[in-house]
Amino acid sequence: MKPATRRIQKRRGGHHAAPAQSSRIRIVVADGHAIDRRGIVSLLSDQPDFEVVGEASNTEEAIERAGSLRPNVLVLTLNLPCDAGDSALPAIRASIPTLKVLALSERGAASCLVLNPPGRSRLPAFAHGSICEAGTDCLQLAVAQGALGTLRRSADPNALFQAVRAVAAGHASYEPLTAAALTNGAMHQSGNGRAMLSARELDVAALLAEGASNKEISAGLEISEPTVKKHIGQILRKLGVQDRLQAGLFVARHPLLLGRGHAATL
C-alpha cells in the first residue's frame, strides 16, 4: 500500500476524523456592552451544538459580521447602538432580510422606554399597574420588526439555549409576556375594546404624536383643516382620551396597537 493511500485511510478512521461542523448552530452575538456580550458568548459556547462565530458591538458591525459569517442566528440586544439613528433591528433586517434574529430586551416590561419614556408621567387612563392594558413593550416591537424569537435578560440560561435552537430551526420562540400579548390580540385592539383607527385617522394620529398643528396636518395630508378637526375628534373618542396631547402620547406608546412597527419619537 502506498504511503498516500495509508494517510487517506487513516483520516477516514472513526476517532481520527475531524468532527462535522455542519450540524452546529452558528451564532453571532451583538451587544453594545462588552462585559454583557462576553457573558452571553460564554454561556452559548458551553453548548456542544453551538458555535459562536462572531461578535458585534454596534449595528454596523452586526450587519458586517452577519453578512460575512452567515450565522444561523443573530442574538441581538435591542439597545445595540446604531449610527443611523434608527433602532438596530430594522436596520439589520433591511440589510439582511433572511437573517434569523433572537431579540433580547435590555429591560423588563415594567420599565420599557416605549411605555414609560423618561421625563414623561404616565397618563392617568393608563396608570393601572406597571404596564397599560394595551401596552406594547420592546419585545412586541421586535416581533413586528422581524425578530423570530424574543427573550428577556432575566430569563434562565436554559431558556436562552432553547430559544436559539428554535430560531435556528426556523420556529418562532417568544417569551411568555410577548406570547400572551400576541395571543390576546393586544397588538390590534386594547383590553377595553377601543376601536382601531381608520387609515386616515392613523395618519393624523401619527402627526399628532410628532406635535404637528392642525395647519401642518392639513398641509401634510392635503386635507382641509375642518376635516383634520373631524378626524381628531374621532381619534379622541376611539382612544378614550381627552385632548390631542394624550392622543399623541398614546400613539407613541402603543405603535403596534395602531399598526406601527416602530415607536414615534418622543
Please state the rounded mean pLDDT for residues 19-45.
89
User: How many Å apart are CA 187 and CA 137, to the nearest integer?
Assistant: 10
Q: Which CATH superfamily is domain 24-183 in?
A: Response regulator (3.40.50.2300)
Please report where in the chains the cell 493511500 appears, as a residue.
5
Same fold, 24-183 and 199-253: no
Between 75 and 9, name the one with better pLDDT: 75
For 241, phi and psi rounded to 5 degrees? -115, 170
Model confidence at 28: pLDDT above 60: yes
Left, alpha or beta for 70 (phi > 0: left; psi -120 to 50: alpha)?
Answer: left
In tens, the pLDDT along 207-241 reads 887 788 999 999 999 999 999 999 999 888 887 77
Beta-bridged to residue 25, according to DSSP, are 50
User: How many Å apart are CA 165 and CA 44, to the nearest integer?
Assistant: 11
Residue 100 is given by DSSP the state -
CATH class of the region 199-253? mainly alpha
Confidence (pTM): 0.60
Q: Which of 1-10, 164-173, 178-187, 192-201 has the highest mean pLDDT?
A: 164-173
Residue spans of the domains in the chain: they are: 24-183, 199-253
Between 247 and 48, name the one with better pLDDT: 48
CB count within 10 Å of CB 53 equals: 18
Segments of 112-176 assigned E as strands: 149-152
User: How many Å apart are CA 8 and CA 12, to the nearest integer?
Assistant: 6
In tens, the pLDDT along 55-73 reads 999 999 999 999 999 999 9
Following CA atoms 193, 195, 196, 201 in sequence, which dihedral angle do they give, to the nearest 10 degrees?
-150
- For the chain, give the percent of residues with pLDDT over 70: 67
